[in-house]
Structure 1
Amino acid sequence: MRLRTVVPTLVAFSLAGGGALFAASYAVSGIERRSVEDVRAALVAKGHTWAVVMADGLQLTVSGTAEDEATRFNALSVAGSVVDPARVIDRMGVATPEAVEPPRFSIELLRNDGGVQVIGLIPASADREALIGRIRGIAGDAEVTDLLESAAFPAPRGWQGAVGFGLDALDTLPRAKVSIAADRVSVTAMSDSRAEKRKIESDLARRAPDGVRLALDIAAPRPVITPFTLRFLIDEGGARFDACSAATEAGRDVILKAAAEAGLDGKIDCTIGMGVPSPDWPQAVRLGIEAVSGMGGGTLTFSDADISLVALQTVSQADFDREVGKLEGALPDVFALRAVKPEPPEEAEPEAEGPPQFVATRSPEGLVQLRGRVPDDRTRAAIETFARARFGAASIDDASRTDTGLPAGWGPQVLAALDAMALLHNGAVVVEPEHVELSGVSGVKEARAEAARILAAQLGQGVEFDISIRYDESLDAEAGLPSPEECQERIGAILAKRQITFAPGSDTIDAEARETIDQIADTLRQCTDVQMEIAGHTDSQGRESMNLGLSQARAESVLAALMARRVVTSNLTAKGYGEANPIADNDTEEGREANRRIEFTLIEADAPEDEGAVDTAAETGEEDAAATDEDAAEASGE
Structure 2
Amino acid sequence: MRLSALFIRLIVFAIAGFGAVAAARVAVSTVETRSVIAVQESLVDQGYEWASVLGDGLQVILEGQAPTEATRFRAISAAGEMVDASRVIDNLSVVDSAQLAPPEFAIEILRNDSGVSLIGLMPADTDREALAARITEIADGQNVTDLLEVGDYPAADTWRPAMTYALRALALLPRSKISVKAGRVDVSAISDSVEEKRRLETALARQPPEGVRLAVSISAPRPVISPFTTRFTIDAAGPHFDACAADTEEAAAQIVKAATAAGLAEKASCTLALGAPSRSWGQAVAMAIGAVGQLGGGTVTVSDTDVTLIAPLGTGQGTFDDIVGALANNLPDVFALTAELPVVQEVSAEGPPQFTATRSPEGEIQLRGRVPDEVSNTVAENFALAKFGQNSITMRTRIAEGLPAGWSVRVLAAIEALSELSNGAVIVEPDRIQIKGKTGSQDASAKISRLMIDKLGQGAVFEISVEYVEQLDPIAGLPTPEECVEQIKVVTENRKITFDPSSAQISASALAVLDDIAEILKICGDLRIRVAGYTDSQGREEMNLNLSQQRAQSVLDALRQRRVPVSTFEAKGYGEADPIADNGTEEGREANRRIEFSLIVPEPTVEETTTLDELAGEAPVEDAPAEDTTSE
Please indicate, yes or no, whether the TM-score normalized by the shorter chain is above 0.5: yes
Aligned counterpart in structure 1 of residue 367 of structure 2, from 370, 389, 392: 370
Q: What is the match of residue 322 of structure 2? A: 322
Q: Distance in 2 between matches of 1:146 and 1:376?
A: 68
Change (3 A) 1:107 1:519: farther
> In terms of mean alpha carbon deviation, does 186-195 or 391-400 score higher?
391-400
Preserved CA contact (<8 Å) 1:302 1:308: yes
Q: What is the match of residue 354 of structure 2? A: 357
Change (3 A) 1:408 1:101: same
Q: What is the match of residue 284 of structure 1? A: 284
Q: What is the match of residue 628 of structure 2? A: none
Q: Distance in 2 between matches of 1:303 and 1:106?
A: 51
Q: What is the match of residue 453 of structure 1? A: 450
Preserved CA contact (<8 Å) 1:175 1:190: yes
- Provide the secondary structure at the position in 2 that maps to 1:265: coil
Matched, 1:488 2:508: no
Change (3 A) 1:153 1:404: same
Counterpart mapping for 1:208-607 below 5 A? 208-346=208-346, 348=348, 350=349, 354-403=351-400, 405-482=402-479, 487-488=485-486, 490-494=488-492, 497-498=495-496, 523=520, 526-527=523-524
Q: Tell me the CA shift for residue 190 of structure 1.
A: 1.0
Preserved CA contact (<8 Å) 1:201 1:218: yes
Preserved CA contact (<8 Å) 2:111 2:117: yes
In the TM superposition, what whole-angstrom CA distance separates every residue of 1:558-580 from its partner, at most 9, and x where no partner exists? 9xx8999866979x9x9x9xx9x
Q: Distance in 1 between matches of 2:399 and 2:515?
A: 54
Q: Tell me the CA shift for residue 178 of structure 1.
A: 1.5
1:138 counterpart letter in structure 2 = I
Change (3 A) 1:214 1:428: closer
Preserved CA contact (<8 Å) 1:413 1:460: no
Change (3 A) 1:394 1:347: closer
Preserved CA contact (<8 Å) 2:176 2:187: yes
Q: Distance in 2 between matches of 1:370 and 1:214?
A: 49
Q: Distance in 2 between matches of 1:419 and 1:496?
A: 40
> In terms of mean alpha carbon deviation, does 522-531 or 435-444 score higher?
522-531
In the TM superposition, what whole-angstrom CA distance separates every residue of 1:495-533 from its partner, at most 9, and x where no partner exists? 5644999xxxxxxx9887999999768646645799999
Q: Distance in 2 between matches of 1:355 and 1:593?
A: 67
Q: Tell me the CA shift for residue 222 of structure 1.
A: 1.1
Q: Distance in 2 between matches of 1:219 and 1:535?
A: 38
2:439 counterpart letter in structure 1 = S
> In terms of mean alpha carbon deviation, does 321-330 or 388-397 score higher?
388-397
Change (3 A) 1:156 1:262: same
Preserved CA contact (<8 Å) 1:233 1:299: yes
Q: Distance in 2 between matches of 1:320 and 1:96?
A: 85
- Provide the secondary structure at the position in 1 that maps to 2:300: strand
Q: Distance in 2 between matches of 1:80 and 1:279?
A: 70
Q: Tell me the CA shift for residue 454 of structure 1.
A: 0.4
In the TM superposition, what whole-angstrom CA distance separates every residue of 1:533-584 from its partner, at most 9, and x where no partner exists? 9999999xxxxxxxxxx9xxx9xx99xx8999866979x9x9x9xx9x9987
Q: Tell me the CA shift for residue 221 of structure 1.
A: 1.3
Q: Tell me the CA shift for residue 232 of structure 1.
A: 1.2
Q: Tell me the CA shift for residue 122 of structure 1.
A: 3.0
Q: Distance in 2 between matches of 1:367 and 1:325?
A: 48
Change (3 A) 1:91 1:387: closer
Q: Distance in 1 between matches of 2:459 and 2:337?
A: 12
> In terms of mean alpha carbon deviation, does 561-570 or 465-474 score higher?
561-570
Q: Tell me the CA shift for residue 327 of structure 1.
A: 1.1
Matched, 1:98 2:94: no
In the TM superposition, what whole-angstrom CA distance separates every residue of 1:149-208 from its partner, at most 9, and x where no partner exists? 323422521332222211110101121111222333221111233343344334434443
Q: Unaligned stretches of 5+ in structure 2? A: 1-20, 41-50, 78-82, 537-544, 608-632
- Provide the secondary structure at the position in 1 that maps to 2:97: coil
Preserved CA contact (<8 Å) 2:497 2:506: no
Preserved CA contact (<8 Å) 1:224 1:273: yes
> In terms of mean alpha carbon deviation, does 379-388 or 417-426 score higher?
379-388
Q: What is the match of residue 150 of structure 2? A: 151
Q: Distance in 1 between matches of 2:281 and 2:85?
A: 87
Q: Tell me the CA shift for residue 405 of structure 1.
A: 3.9
Q: Unaligned stretches of 5+ in structure 1? A: 1-29, 55-61, 83-89, 502-508, 540-549, 604-609, 617-638
1:163 counterpart letter in structure 2 = M
Change (3 A) 1:517 1:120: farther
Change (3 A) 1:522 1:64: same
- Provide the secondary structure at the position in 2 that maps to 1:185: strand
Preserved CA contact (<8 Å) 2:303 2:458: no
Matched, 1:161 2:161: yes
Preserved CA contact (<8 Å) 2:255 2:282: yes
1:424 counterpart letter in structure 2 = L
RCO higher in structure (CA 8 A, sep ≥6): 2
Aligned length: 529
1:268 counterpart letter in structure 2 = A
Q: Tell me the CA shift for residue 256 of structure 1.
A: 1.0
2:434 counterpart letter in structure 1 = E
In the TM superposition, what whole-angstrom CA distance separates every residue of 1:463-495 from its partner, at most 9, and x where no partner exists? 311122233333332333347567525425425
Q: Distance in 2 between matches of 1:519 and 1:410?
A: 43
Change (3 A) 1:524 1:52: farther
1:298 counterpart letter in structure 2 = G
> In terms of mean alpha carbon deviation, does 213-222 or 360-369 score higher?
360-369
Q: Tell me the CA shift for residue 134 of structure 1.
A: 0.6
Preserved CA contact (<8 Å) 1:532 1:600: yes
Q: Distance in 1 between matches of 2:494 and 2:140?
A: 34
Q: Distance in 1 between matches of 2:533 and 2:392?
A: 48
Preserved CA contact (<8 Å) 2:491 2:517: no
TM-score by length of 1: 0.67
Q: Distance in 1 between matches of 2:298 and 2:339?
A: 10
Change (3 A) 1:500 1:171: farther
- Provide the secondary structure at the position in 1 that maps to 2:466: strand
Preserved CA contact (<8 Å) 1:231 1:299: yes
Q: Distance in 2 between matches of 1:319 and 1:91?
A: 95
Q: What is the match of residue 188 of structure 1? A: 188
Q: Distance in 1 between matches of 2:415 and 2:121?
A: 59
Preserved CA contact (<8 Å) 2:198 2:475: no
Preserved CA contact (<8 Å) 2:313 2:342: yes
- Provide the secondary structure at the position in 2 that maps to 1:456: helix
Change (3 A) 1:595 1:394: closer
Q: Tell me the CA shift for residue 103 of structure 1.
A: 4.2
Change (3 A) 1:66 1:159: closer
Q: Distance in 2 between matches of 1:63 and 1:229?
A: 76
Preserved CA contact (<8 Å) 2:119 2:147: yes
Change (3 A) 1:597 1:615: farther
